[in-house]
Amino acid sequence: MSYMPSGSRERFFSRLFSWEEWRRGREYGREGLISGACYGDGVWQGTVTGALGCYRVRVKRESGGWRMNCSCPSREGRCRHAAALLSHWLREPEAFAPMVEVYRQLAELSRNEAVALLQLVAGEEGELLRRLLAGRGKEGEKKRVSLKKLLSLVRNLGLETRSPWRSRQVWEERWYNLLLAVEEELKTGAGGSKKKAWEGLLLLAEKLLDFIAGFSLGTMATGYLLRLLEPLATYAGEGIPWPVAAKILRFYLQTPLTAGEEEGFFVFFRRLAAVKGREVFFSLVRDEALPCGKEGQLPVVRWVRLSGELWPPGTESFQELAGWCLKDYRRLLPLLDFLEEKGEYREAKTLLQSGMDLFTGAGGRYLYRLRLAALHRALGEWKEALYLENLNFTERPGREEYFRLQRLAVEIGEWSRIKPGVFRALAGKTPALYRELQAMEAGNFPGSS
């Protein structure tokens, strides 16, 4: 191409791309992500390292304009990789091997026919031939991206300027491939290189969480975050900044999860608590959870469950958690659920009895007796459970309450004793149900035993 001042050349080339692609391409060039560059006869060729691998780029100036080809997923030619190649040529033209050098190497081949054929191919794929000629005997070697280049790719990871669906798809592919590369560096690196790889992993974590928030993905992105938590938990000893930990915590508190997914978060948070210290981490959890309670019950339930996992009954921190839950029955109920799941029935019963004053009104009293009766049954305290179930039935003689009371009374041999009082309550408050149940007792209902 004819000579023009460097500033004019940059303006000329920049107009061939969108502003964003040209900006990104220049950043790739500055970070040294271009290799195997060739130039000759109005053709620029090279390999640009991207998030999904190495892309072959070819830019040719023709009489009718420009033709650009790139092997990247965009398949659009005028991408950031083509921009990277041209911006690199503007800045370091000496880094581009002249095509005449390729032709010289071809001339060393022994067969004239092969030389003629290869010369034709060189006009289209000169860089490929140059790389093959220079690397004969090394076909099995796999080139690994340097840590510096890898971190540059992580920093430059961003959304494409295209349809939201395609942009999201490409971003996810790039993010996942970068995660694999960073994990490999963490496994094999040591000292300063391992520290740099850890910084890359933390940056990938922040980018993923911002990406999830930007697209409002919620549960759709849980799998990606769980995949990320594995290396984060493994190398948590390297140090996780609070902003990153807080973002992960917010996601956990606010996103519906399966039991398996929740356990994946527990593994990470246990590791983080062990590294950061229980009391410091408890403060973080508390500060993050309390504001979330205004947005619904889920964050409160999650915070209670997470705290219970980290600080089980018998620890000082659990007593602090119990004290916080005893201030509001909406906190207490999830803690009771958690304790029952863990088989801590006696602890749950003591806690529920301590919070009796939280259950006000007829509905509150009914719920309190219902939960307490269930705990008595779990502990084998049958008479106490029967007494509470009978109280609930007398106050609210419904179908469900009747059968629950009947099953318990039959099981412990008390049904004949309390049955007359049960039917009196039915006759006085729910006559229709009383007649139906009487008929069932007499065996007049089809299918009754």
CATH of the domain at 365: 1.25.40
The Cα–Cα gap between 176 and 74 comes to 17
Kindly report the CA angle at 296 between 333 and 364, in degrees rounded to 5?
Answer: 35
Q: Tokens for 381?
A: 């305290």
Residue numbers of the domain that contains 289:
144-154+163-310
Which CA distances in Å does 335 have to 74, 313, 342? 50, 11, 11
Task: Tell me how many domains the chain contains.
Answer: 3
- pLDDT by residue for the chain (449 residues), tens only, comes to 444 445 567 888 888 888 878 888 888 888 888 988 999 888 999 998 877 678 889 898 887 678 888 887 665 567 888 999 999 988 888 889 888 877 777 677 666 666 666 566 666 666 666 666 665 544 444 456 788 888 888 888 877 655 565 677 677 778 888 888 898 888 887 888 889 999 999 999 998 888 888 777 666 677 888 888 889 988 888 888 888 888 888 888 888 888 888 888 888 888 888 887 666 566 655 554 444 444 468 888 888 998 898 888 988 889 988 998 999 999 999 999 999 999 999 999 999 999 999 999 999 999 999 999 999 999 999 999 999 999 999 988 889 999 999 999 999 999 999 999 999 999 999 999 999 888 887 766 544 44
**Is 326 within a domain?**
no
Q: Indicate if 289 and 230 belong to the same structural domain.
A: yes
Q: Indicate if 377 and 422 belong to the same structural domain.
A: yes
Which CA distances in Å does 174 have to 49, 183, 272? 12, 14, 27
**Is 347 within a domain?**
no
Q: Indicate if 221 and 302 belong to the same structural domain.
A: yes
Q: Indicate if 293 and 431 belong to the same structural domain.
A: no
- Report the residue count for the chain: 449
Q: Indicate if 122 and 10 belong to the same structural domain.
A: yes
